Amino acid sequence: MATLGLIGSGNIGSTLARLAVDAGLDVVLSNSRGPDTLASLVEELGPRARAATPAEAAAAGDWVVVTIPLKAYQQVPAESLAGKVVLDTGNYYPQRDGQIPELDAEQTTTSELLQRHLPDAKVVKAFNNIYFKHLAALARPSGAPDRSALPIAGDDPAAKTAATALLDTLGFDAVDAGALAEGWRFQRDTPAYAVPYAKDPRGTGIAGDDPGSPASADTIRTALTAARR
């Protein structure tokens, strides 16, 4: 059975873990505080889930999701991720992460920073543009008329194919936004960030009890095209 490894088990990580278990995948979760702190989540998820260290989660995963604050990206275990498809959910929040001059100057992107730290991994940007409650609520079976799409970006075609397969398993279509350098098109403060999945498109789509609204592949493509720096 295929395994999803998670480095980080906060809102997005735990939501992906639930979707993965529901889809029949095994899950290995980790965080910066140690496996014991994940006991209640593992118990909730059931026998397909276990807790481990970040290095162990990296080694176990057929896909590995890195879902941690950007300021901690250099703590991700590079050796354990050699050859792996790594899905990066990171977003840059200077008030949390501190100022990162390269990002402030738009000389690079968040996922390119992670790729530089993981030279032997294949990084794909994904899952960063959707509120975790919408991620949980909008998963649909393949072929469902109200299935939502999520954008991805990456430099390795095979890795993007693998990421697309994971999204499909979890209940979403994928829209290829291009190379990793194009990941800015769905970072925060762009039209593809959160708003396409909001029930009220005039709002931010990232707060309150908004149950979310499906966003088609065409909707996401239009939002990506509208992005401006």
pLDDT digits (tens, 9 = 90+) for 5-33: 999 999 999 999 999 999 999 999 999 99
DSSP states of 24-48: T-EEEEE-TT-GGGGHHHHHHH-TT
Distance CA 100, CA 110 (A): 10
Per-residue pLDDT of 97-148, as tens digits, reads: 999 999 999 999 999 999 999 999 999 999 999 999 999 999 999 999 999 9
**Structural domain boundaries in the chain:** 3-226
**pTM, 2 dp:** 0.96
Instruction: Write the burial class of residue 104 (CB in 10 Å: 0-12 exposed, 13-18 middle, 19+ buried).
Output: exposed
- Nearest Cα neighbor of 63 from 137, 139, 149, 122 is 122
Give the largest CA-CA distance in the chain.
46
Fold that domain 3-226 belongs to in CATH:
Rossmann fold (3.40.50)
Average pLDDT in the chain? 95
Q: Cα–Cα distances in Å, from 214 out to 23, 91, 167, 171, 179?
A: 19, 22, 15, 12, 25
Angle formed at CA 109 by CA 106 and CA 115, multiple of 5 degrees = 145
